[in-house]
Amino acid sequence: MFVRPCWKPSQEEIYELIHRYPWALVVSNGEHGPYATNMPVLLDRTRGEHGTLVGHIARANEHAEVLQSSTSPTLVIFEGPYSYVTGSWYPNRDMPSTVYYTAVHCCGRVHLQTNEELERWLEVLTDRMEAPYPNGWKMNDIDHSAVTRRLNHILGFEIPIERIEGKFKLGQDEPRKDAMAVAHKLASADDPSHRLLSEMVRRYNEDRPER
């Protein structure tokens, strides 16, 4: 992706975005064109130079066959908070409308999991996603056989990250007063993701000099 130096987040900020927004788009090259599937993808930072992504897909999905046979890198796209920014938010209305957004792209080659690895990571995913819910569901709430009989219908895979890049386009290339005006507007939005975006815009702009 095109990333100006001012839009480039730190490695830690990239990992934080992946952790907070695990709903990803996985894209692979197939014989008849690209295949893309939305799915939760977790990051294991303990393995690989840049970490390892872990996901699963239904074997009935044609994309699963592509993942099993592909020797070229697979692209995984994570999206954080974003918002359309109308030019009317700028104090002098002298800037065109744009979009503020955050995104991370990861590339790597697929490694397939065993059923044992798949089951372990399904439990990790379940515990992660259920954590916000009081008395959340656990995999041991059902018989183990009800889990194992499903495993043969699921393809678990891992992607050691070979290339990773992030883009946090938050007004850093605009006059500071304009970026801060956008942050003020986003802070009053009903959408909680826009309020979170407002905090990010402030963090990336409030200490830089006005121009």
DSSP 54: E
Contact, 159 vs 89, CB < 8 A? no
Sign of CA dihedral 11, 17, 23, 25: negative
At residue 40, the pLDDT reads 98
What are 56's strand-pairing partners?
156
At residue 32, the pLDDT reads 85
DSSP reduced 3-state for 171: coil
Q: Report how far apart, in Å, the C-alpha atoms of 118 and of each of 72, 135, 179 are.
A: 22, 24, 44
Q: What is the pLDDT along the chain (211 residues), one digit of tens a residue?
A: 999 999 999 999 999 999 999 999 999 998 889 999 999 999 999 999 999 999 999 999 999 999 999 889 999 999 999 999 999 999 999 989 999 999 999 999 999 999 999 999 999 999 999 999 999 999 999 999 999 999 999 999 999 999 999 999 999 999 999 999 999 999 999 999 999 999 999 999 998 888 6
What residue ranges define each of the domains in the chain, with the CATH number in brackets? Answer: 5-204 (2.30.110.10)
d(C-alpha 111, C-alpha 34), whole Å: 19
DSSP 98-156: EEEEEEEEEEE--EEPPHHHHHHHHHHHHHHHHTTSTT---GGGS-HHHHHHHHTTEEE
At residue 149, the pLDDT reads 94
At residue 2, the pLDDT reads 95
At residue 128, the pLDDT reads 94
Q: Please, what is the angle between helix 192-205 and helix 176-187, to 10°? A: 160
Residues recorded for the chain:
211
